[in-house]
Chains A and B, each alone.
Chain A
Amino acid sequence: MDRIPNWADVLLVPLISLVLAAILSAVVILAIGENPVEALGYMVEGALGSTYGWGYTLYYATNFAFTGLAVAIAFHASLFNIGGEGQATLGGLGVALVCLALPWPHWALALPAAVIGGAAFGAAWAAIPAYLQAKRGSHIVITTIMFNYIAFALIIYLLNNGLKPVGQMESSSARFPEGTNLPTLHEMLGAIGIPFSQAPPVNISLFLALAAAYGVWLLLWRTPLGFEIRAFGKSEPAGKYAGISSFKIIMITMLISGGLAGLMAINTVMGEAERLVNNSVQNAGFIGIAVALMGRSHPLGILLAALLFGFLVQGGAELAFWTSIPTELIIVIQALVILFTGALDNMVRMPVEALFRARGRAEKAKSVAAE
C-alpha cells in the first residue's frame, strides 16, 4: 500500500515532530544558560501538576479548539481562513452586546443568546471576505488578514466610543450582569463532589467546544452538506460536474468557520473577563491555524492539538513565573512546535513513510523466502 498506517499518520508523525521541537527548544534554553530538564519540569508541573494548572490549560485549550475547528472546516473546502483572530474579536462584540442588552436572570438563558450573538458576529465578519472570494475571486487569505486589522481597529473605536461606561478610565465595556456569569468547572465538578481549583477561568464553554467538535464531525462526515464541502475542497471541477454551487459552499463554509471562531468569545469574554476588553483574543485565532494543521483538520485531532497548545501557553506562563527564562522564549518554543508540526510536517512524514515501506518490503521478502 502507498500509505502509512492510520495510527502512525495521526499519532506517530506529530509525536516525532513534537520531540524534534522539544529537542531544539532544549538547545535554545541551554544556549541562554538555563537547564532544559528543569524548565520542562516547571512546564509540566505548572500546566498539568494540579487542578489549578489543568484549569488554565483547559481554558486555553477551549479557545484553541474553537479557532482550530474554524480553520479546519474552511480547510476542508480548501479555503484558508486566516481571519479567525478578527472573527473571534467580532464574536466578542456580539457576545458583549447580547450580555449587556438585557438584565439576564440566569446564565442558562443568557448562554444560548450569547452563542447566537457570538456566532452571528463572527460569521458576519467572515461573510464579507467569503462573498468577495465567491463572487469576485479576491483571495480569501489576503482579505481575511486585512479584516483582522479592521476588526482590531473597530473594537478599539467602539470600546472608546459607546461601549465604555461614562467616567471609566479603562477602555472596556461595562461589566456584564450577574445573570450572565457562566458556571466554572470548579462549580460544576463541585456539584458532583469532585474538588477542582477555584482560580482558573475554565468554564462550561469547554463542553460547548466539545459539542462544537462533535457537530463539525457530524456535519462533515454525516451530512450531504458536509459531503459537498469536502467534495468541493478536493476538486472544484468535480464539484461543478456534480452541480455543487461554489458560491453556496464558499459562503456556508466561511459562515460556519467565522461562527466557530466567534464562539471562542463565549469562553473569554463571557466566561473569563465578564466584560469586553481590548485584545480579548490574544492570538488564539492564529494558533488555531497551527492547531488545525497539527490536528490534520479532524475534530479529534484538533481537540488533542488544542490541549497541547493549552499546555504550552499555561506551562510557558509558569516557566516565566518561576525561572529567569524570559516570556519571549515561550513564544520561541511555541513557534518551534508550530514550525515542526505544521510547516515541516513533510520533513518527518516522508522518512516515516519510507521506513514503513522498507519494513513492508522486508516482511514481503521474508514471507517469500519462507515459501
Chain B
Amino acid sequence: MTAPAIEPAIELKGISKAFGPVQANKDISISVQPGTIHGIIGENGAGKSTLMSILYGFYKADAGEIFIRGQKTLIPDSQAAIAAGIGMVFQHFKLVENFTVLENIILGAEDGALLTPSLAKARKLLKELADDYGLNVDPDALVENLSVGYQQRIEILKALYRQADILILDEPTGVLTPAEADQLFRILGRLREEGKTIILITHKLREIMDITDTVSVMRRGEMTATVKTSETSPTELAELMVGRKVLLRVDKKPATPGAPVLKVENLRVVDSKGVERVKGINFEVRAGEILGLAGVAGNGQSELLEVLGGYRTAEGLIVMNNEEIDLTGAKSDGQSRRSRGIAHVPEDRQREGLIMDFMAWENTAFGYHKDERYRKGVLADNVGIRADTAEKMERFDVRPPNPKLAAKNFSGGNQQKIVLAREIERNPDLLLVGQPTRGVDIGAIEFIHQQIVALRDQGKAILLVSVELDEILSLSDRIAVMFDGHIMGERLPDETDEKELGLLMAGVTPDANPAAAE
C-alpha cells in the first residue's frame, strides 16, 4: 500500500450519537492533520463534548468509524484511547489535591507493585518533557498549592507522560487569567512545533482566531463547516455557530448617569479563615449606569457581591438610596437587601441562584417567596406563581417555556435567563450581576446583554462583576479593576484597552511602575 503524503492524525467518519430523543452528534466527519491545532467551536449543547467523549471512549457512538493515523481504531474505554495516543485535558481538572505533582502524574500509570521505581522513572521523564516543551513544574510541589494555570500544565504533562501525541483540551481557558491563557497558548504552540496534534474545544472566538490552524463549527449536533482559520473571521464563525447574524458588540446608547444609588466607603471584608479579602474599597454606582468590576477571580469581587447581596458580613459603610444599610445582624440578610431595592444575579447560578432540583416556577419565586403577590393568605399561591413564571419565560425567551421543568434540565443560557427574569422583573434600583454569561451560549449572551442595557436605560444602577474582559469592555459605562482586595483604578471603556486593564488586574499600576508594563 502506498501511503499518502500525510496521513491524518485523526479521522472521524460519520459519527452519530443519540441520547434518548436528543441527537447529540449527527453524521460527523472530520480529519485533523498531524502537527496542527484544530479548533472545535460551538454553543453549549452543540455536541462538542459528546464528540470528544466518543473519541476518548466515554461514550460509544451509535454509528461511524474512528481512524487514528490511518488505522481504524475501536475506542471502547479511556484505556484504549490512551493506548491509541490520545490524551485529554478536562475542563474540571482531575487531580488529587494533596498529592505532589509527580504522584499525580504517575497516578493510574504506575508500573509494578512498588512506587519508588515508578516515581524515579517519572521524575526523569518529567525533566525531559519539561526540557522539550518548556513545561517547567516542580515535581515535588503539592497540587493544592499550585495556581490553576500550573494545575492545567500538570494535566497536560499527565497526557504527555502517557505518550499522547493527540491532545484534546476541553474549554481550557475557562479558569485562566488572560496571562495564563497566553502562556497556555505558547505551550500549545510549542507542542505543535514538536509534532503533536491538538484539538481545542472552546466557545471563545478569539482563541480560535489566535491559535488554531483549522476550525470546525458545530451546531445542534451537526458539523456545519470546517474551514482554515486564516480564511475566516469571527463574525463568520459566530454566524455559523448560531445560525443567524449575531451582534458581537453590544449595541448601546451613551449612558446618562443620575444620582448615586449605591455608595461604598472603606469597605472591609474578612473571611471565616481570618483573611482580609476586601481591603477598604470606595466606589459608587449611579442611576442609569453600568459599573463594570474587572479582575481575576479570587481578588475580592465575589466577597463584595456577597456583602451587597446580604450573605456575608463586613465593616465599613454602604449607602443605598441615601440610607445606610446594615452590614451585620438580622437586617443584613438577603431578604432585607431585596426590600431595599437590591436584586442580585449571583456568580454561581447553579449553586446559589437556582435550586437545580426545583421546577422553574419554584425558582421564579425563590428569594421572593414571602411576597404578598405570591401568596394567598398563609398559603403560597402556586397557581399564580406558575402563571407568572410562564409570562416571564415568554418575555425572556426561555426555552423550553415549561414552568414545570426542573432547573437542571435547562441549558446554561436558559438557566441564566430564569435568574435574570426573576431579578430584573422585580424592577430593582440596583442590580448586582456576577458573571452573567459564564457557561452561556453566544445567542443567549446577546440577549442577556441587551436585557442588562435595557435596565440601565430605565435609569437603574448596575454593578457588573465579570472575569471576561470583553464583556466588561463592551457593557460597562465605567470600569473599576480589583486586585488583591483593592480597587486599582477606574477607567472609561473608550479610553482604555485590554492591555491596560490586564496590567491593573495583575496589580501593576502603570504610573507607579512603568517598567513593569512589558
Listed residue (A230, A240, A241) with the most chain B CB atoms within 10 angstroms of its CB: A241
A222 within 8 A of B: yes
Q: Which residues of B contact A227 (CB under 8 A)?
A: 362, 365, 369, 380
> Which of A2, A237, A238, A364 is close to B366, meaning CB atoms less than 8 Å apart?
A238
State in angstroms the CA–CA spacing of A242 and B419 once bound together.
Answer: 12
> Which of B21, B348, B351, B356 is close to A364, meaning CB atoms less than 8 Å apart?
B21
Across the A-B interface, how many residue pairs have beta carbons closer than 8 Å? 77
Please tell me which stretch of B131-139, B253-261, B328-336, B473-481 contacts chain A, meaning at least 4 of its Cβ atoms lie within 8 angstroms of it.
B328-336
What is the minimal beta-carbon distance from A71 to any residue of chain B, in angstroms?
Answer: 19
Contact A223 B380 (CB under 8 A): yes
Would you give the 0/1 interface string for B212-231, flagging 1 where the beta carbon is closer than 8 Å to chain A? 00000000000000000000
Known: A235-B355, A364-B21. A243 touches B379 (CB 8 A): no
Contact A243 B369 (CB under 8 A): no
Known: A222-B380, A224-B370. A241 touches B21 (CB 8 A): no
A234 within 8 A of B: yes
- Give residues of chain A (312-371) contacting chain B, Cβ–Cβ below 8 Å: 357, 360-361, 364
State in angstroms the CA–CA spacing of A240 and B353 once bound together.
Answer: 10
A156 within 8 A of B: no
B518 within 8 A of A: no
State in angstroms the CA–CA spacing of A245 and B333 once bound together.
Answer: 8
Would you give the 0/1 interface string for B351-389, flagging 1 where the beta carbon is closer than 8 Å to chain A? 111111110001001110110001100111010000000
What is the minimal beta-carbon distance from B438 to any residue of chain A, in angstroms?
Answer: 16
Contact A241 B20 (CB under 8 A): no
- With both beta carbons as reference points, the residue of chain A lying nearest to B377 in the complex is identified as A223
B295 within 8 A of A: no
Contact B355 A231 (CB under 8 A): yes
- With both beta carbons as reference points, the residue of chain B lying nearest to A357 in the complex is identified as B20
> Which of B346, B375, B379 is close to A241, meaning CB atoms less than 8 Å apart?
B346
Known: A224-B380, A234-B355, A238-B355. A243 touches B20 (CB 8 A): no
> Which of A2, A224, A243, A360 is close to B334, meaning CB atoms less than 8 Å apart?
A243
B300 within 8 A of A: no
B337 within 8 A of A: yes
What is the minimal beta-carbon distance from A233 to any residue of chain B, in angstroms?
Answer: 9
B309 within 8 A of A: yes
Would you give the 0/1 interface string for A129-144, flagging 1 where the beta carbon is closer than 8 Å to chain B? 0000000000000000
- With both beta carbons as reference points, the residue of chain A lying nearest to B19 in the complex is identified as A2
Contact B334 A241 (CB under 8 A): yes
State in angstroms the CA–CA spacing of A2 and B333 once bound together.
Answer: 36
- Give residues of chain A (232-273) contacting chain B, Cβ–Cβ below 8 Å: 234-235, 237-238, 240-245
Q: Which residues of A contact B409 (CB under 8 A)?
A: 2
B344 within 8 A of A: yes
State in angstroms the CA–CA spacing of A1 and B336 once bound together.
Answer: 39
- With both beta carbons as reference points, the residue of chain A lying nearest to B310 in the complex is identified as A243
How many chain B residues have a CB neighbour from A under 8 Å? 36
B338 within 8 A of A: yes
Q: Which residues of B contact A242 (CB under 8 A)?
A: 334-335, 366-367, 369
A228 within 8 A of B: yes
Contact A241 B333 (CB under 8 A): no
Q: Which residues of A contact B365 (CB under 8 A)?
A: 227
State in angstroms the CA–CA spacing of A245 and B334 once bound together.
Answer: 9
Q: Which residues of B contact A243 (CB under 8 A)?
A: 310-311, 333-338, 367
State in angstroms the CA–CA spacing of A360 and B379 once bound together.
Answer: 39
Q: Which residues of B contact A222 (CB under 8 A)?
A: 379-380, 382
State in angstroms the CA–CA spacing of A241 and B336 once bound together.
Answer: 12
What is the minimal beta-carbon distance from B329 to any residue of chain A, in angstroms?
Answer: 12
Contact A240 B355 (CB under 8 A): no
Interface size class, chain A: 20 to 34
Q: Which residues of B contact A244 (CB under 8 A)?
A: 334
Q: Which residues of A contact B18 (CB under 8 A)?
A: 361, 364
What is the minimal beta-carbon distance from B430 to any residue of chain A, in angstroms?
Answer: 16
> Which of A228, A231, A234, A364 is close to B20, meaning CB atoms less than 8 Å apart?
A364
- With both beta carbons as reference points, the residue of chain A lying nearest to B337 in the complex is identified as A243
State in angstroms the CA–CA spacing of A223 and B367 once bound together.
Answer: 14
Known: A224-B369, A224-B370, A243-B311. A237 touches B352 (CB 8 A): yes
Contact A241 B355 (CB under 8 A): no
Q: Which residues of B contact A224 (CB under 8 A)?
A: 369-370, 374-375, 380
Q: Which residues of B contact A230 (CB under 8 A)?
A: 358
State in angstroms the CA–CA spacing of A241 and B335 once bound together.
Answer: 9
What is the minimal beta-carbon distance from A257 to any residue of chain B, in angstroms?
Answer: 20
> Which of A2, A238, A357 is close to B351, meaning CB atoms less than 8 Å apart?
A238
Q: Which residues of A contact B379 (CB under 8 A)?
A: 218, 222-223
Would you give the 0/1 interface string for B87-114, flagging 1 where the beta carbon is closer than 8 Å to chain A? 0000000000000000000000000000
- With both beta carbons as reference points, the residue of chain B lying nearest to A218 in the complex is identified as B379
What is the minimal beta-carbon distance from A370 to any residue of chain B, in angstroms?
Answer: 15
- With both beta carbons as reference points, the residue of chain B lying nearest to A367 in the complex is identified as B21
What is the minimal beta-carbon distance from A52 to any residue of chain B, in angstroms?
Answer: 41
What is the minimal beta-carbon distance from B20 to any residue of chain A, in angstroms?
Answer: 6
State in angstroms the CA–CA spacing of A221 and B382 once bound together.
Answer: 9
What is the minimal beta-carbon distance from A135 to any residue of chain B, in angstroms?
Answer: 15
- With both beta carbons as reference points, the residue of chain B lying nearest to A243 in the complex is identified as B334
Q: Which residues of B contact A223 (CB under 8 A)?
A: 378-380
What is the minimal beta-carbon distance from A57 to any residue of chain B, in angstroms?
Answer: 34
State in angstroms the CA–CA spacing of A221 and B380 once bound together.
Answer: 8
State in angstroms the CA–CA spacing of A228 and B352 once bound together.
Answer: 14
Contact A1 B20 (CB under 8 A): yes
Listed residue (B336, B355, B358) with the most chain A CB atoms within 10 angstroms of its CB: B355
What is the minimal beta-carbon distance from A358 to any residue of chain B, in angstroms?
Answer: 11
Q: Which residues of A contact B354 (CB under 8 A)?
A: 238
- With both beta carbons as reference points, the residue of chain B lying nearest to A364 in the complex is identified as B21
Q: Which residues of B contact A237 (CB under 8 A)?
A: 348, 351-352
- Give residues of chain B (272-325) contacting chain A, Cβ–Cβ below 8 Å: 309-311
- With both beta carbons as reference points, the residue of chain B lying nearest to A228 in the complex is identified as B369
Contact B333 A238 (CB under 8 A): no
What is the minimal beta-carbon distance from A355 to any residue of chain B, in angstroms?
Answer: 14
- With both beta carbons as reference points, the residue of chain A lying nearest to B385 in the complex is identified as A227
State in angstroms the CA–CA spacing of A1 and B19 once bound together.
Answer: 9
State in angstroms the CA–CA spacing of A164 and B348 once bound together.
Answer: 60
State in angstroms the CA–CA spacing of A245 and B344 once bound together.
Answer: 18
Closest 10 pairs (CB-CB, A-B): A243-B334, A243-B335, A242-B367, A241-B352, A243-B333, A240-B311, A234-B355, A237-B351, A224-B369, A222-B379
Instruction: A227-B365, A241-B353 are known; give 10 further A-B pairs, CB within 8 A.
Output: A224-B370, A227-B380, A228-B369, A234-B356, A240-B334, A240-B352, A241-B334, A241-B346, A243-B335, A360-B21
Sample 16 A-B pairs with CB under 8 A, ordered by A number. Answer: A1-B20, A2-B409, A223-B378, A234-B356, A234-B357, A235-B355, A238-B352, A238-B353, A242-B334, A243-B337, A245-B333, A357-B20, A360-B20, A360-B21, A361-B20, A364-B18
Q: Contact residues of A with B, CB < 8 Å? A: 1-2, 218, 221-224, 227-228, 230-231, 234-235, 237-238, 240-245, 357, 360-361, 364
